[in-house]
Amino acid sequence: MKKLLALAVVILGFTAVSFGQTVGVTKTATASATIIGPISLTKTADMNFGNVAVTATAGTVVLVPAGTRTPTGGVSLPVVAGTVSAATFTVGGEGTSTYAITLPTTDHIIKSGTTNQMIVNAFTSNPSGTGKLTAGSQTIQIGATLNVTGGQATGTYTSVTPFDVTVNYN
């Protein structure tokens, strides 16, 4: 019996029994933040559709971000191309961050004189929608579609107001 009592005392000695509730437990955490440099956008080239020939039939010139163009409808591209270039920007920012690209979604007017105008729309970019910086930099090229009316008046057409391209960190 004494052995049984001694064994019971030893077993109870190793048993964790809690008769009360813990009042509270405190843990700690730290706060931190990383400040990154602002994203930047620098224009390196304006958009230029080059020389365009027209007929009595309307058409378009599609300028892709790579800087090549394709005519449709009553538009043709003369052998003497003139200056052809997609709009080009350099994005600067933090390391290998990704960013969103916002292009114009409304028609952009270009004019020659006070009455002659054409519409530029359907803007596209390379990269498209989202870019990723490499060592803090990336080039964006912007293309669009030039809408030409039948018998469009001759002249040099330029933006009434510049179009906006926006980049923001993701």
Domain boundaries, the chain: 50-169
Instruction: Return the closest-CA partner of residue 127 out of 84, 165, 95.
Output: 165
Q: What is the pLDDT of residue 23?
A: 85
Q: What is the pLDDT of residue 144?
A: 98
Tens-of-pLDDT digits for all 170 residues of the chain?
Answer: 555 545 554 555 555 555 566 789 999 999 999 998 999 999 999 999 999 999 999 999 999 999 999 999 999 999 999 999 999 999 999 999 999 999 999 999 999 999 999 999 999 999 999 999 999 999 999 999 999 999 999 999 999 999 999 999 99
Strands (E), 35-136: 40-45, 48-49, 53-63, 69-76, 84-85, 87-92, 98-102, 108-112, 116-126, 130-132
Whole-angstrom distance, CA of residue 132 vs CA of residue 136: 9
Q: Hey, how many other C-beta atoms are within 10 angstroms of the C-beta on 120?
A: 21
Q: What is the pLDDT of residue 132?
A: 98
